[in-house]
Amino acid sequence: MHSTSQCYIFAPVKNEFIKNWETQLKKGLLPYFVLKALEAQERYGYELIQHLKDDFNTEVTESTMYPLLTRLQKEELLISKWIEQPTGIPRKYYYISENGRINLAAMKKSIDENLTK
């Protein structure tokens, strides 16, 4: 009885801790996910959000994605181009730059060395 009660008390705390830790981990890995998602093809902001959700199981809102894409572009890891659409609302497509590919490879190496041991 005593031991059951202990499990009941501590299990949710541990889950909350893991949940927070996963959030922080994903936040740290977000630039990697974005570069990885753009490695094979260019995408626009909303498409990137959907891709991260479907392929990386990572939920990102526009309030996070927009400043992040601006920052990565400033770091010259991404380049962008506005493409006119028949709707009249253009899309801003993001492409990975050569510098972005070099950094993506370095990030992948770092993940392999530090997280997949």
Partner 1 sequence: MKAIEFKQPASQRVYNSYIERCKRVVKPLSRQDQEECLLEINSYIYEYINDHSDDEMTALLNILDRIGDPEITLREVVAGKKIDQAIKTFNIKHLLQALFLNLRNGVAYILLALMTVMLLTFPVLIVLKLVNPAQTGIWVGPGVFFFGITDNPKSLREISGDFFIPVVITLGVLLYFLIIYILKAIRKKKP
- The neighbour count for residue 36, using CB atoms within 10 Å, is 18
Interaction of residue 62 with partner 1, rule CB under 8 A: yes
- DSSP alpha helices (H): ranges in the chain? 2-40, 45-56, 62-74, 98-115
Q: How far is the CB of 71 from partner 1 (least distance, A)?
A: 7
Interaction of residue 92 with partner 1, rule CB under 8 A: yes
Contact 93, 87 (CB under 8 A): no
Q: How far apart are CA 43 and CA 19, in angstroms?
A: 29
Interaction of residue 102 with partner 1, rule CB under 8 A: no
91 vs 108, which CB is nearer to partner 1? Answer: 91
Binding site for partner 1 (CB under 8 A): 44-47, 50, 61-63, 66-67, 70-71, 74, 82, 87-92
